[in-house]
Amino acid sequence: ALDSTFADAWASRAYAYFLFGTQGYGSITEFWAKAEKNALTAIRLDPQNGMAYAVLASLYRGRNQWEQALTTY
């Protein structure tokens, strides 16, 4: 069975979705929504998870949500 409380797995999954969207492997909107959801799950499980914050901030930057990006980085 998979460990649904393993924050690093959620953060890595968020990063993968972020890259899929960025590289054009499908709808950027759909992939980035999944990336955001996974990053937020990782942060909820581990508020110190740096990778999750980096992915989330990069998403915000990509969406031109500058204030959110600055506070998340």
What does R_g of the chain's alpha carbons equal in angstroms?
Answer: 12
Give pLDDT, residue 73. Answer: 87
pTM: 0.91
Dig out the tokens for 73 from the structure: 């980085």
Give pLDDT, residue 2. Answer: 75
- From 63, 17, 70, select the one nearest 40 (Cα to Cα): 17
- From 11, 7, 9, 17, select the one nearest 54 (Cα to Cα): 11
Average pLDDT of adjacent 10-residue blocks, the chain of 73 residues: 88 97 94 97 97 97 94 91
Integer Cα distance of 15 and 44 in angstroms: 16
Give pLDDT, residue 3. Answer: 87
Give pLDDT, residue 26. Answer: 92
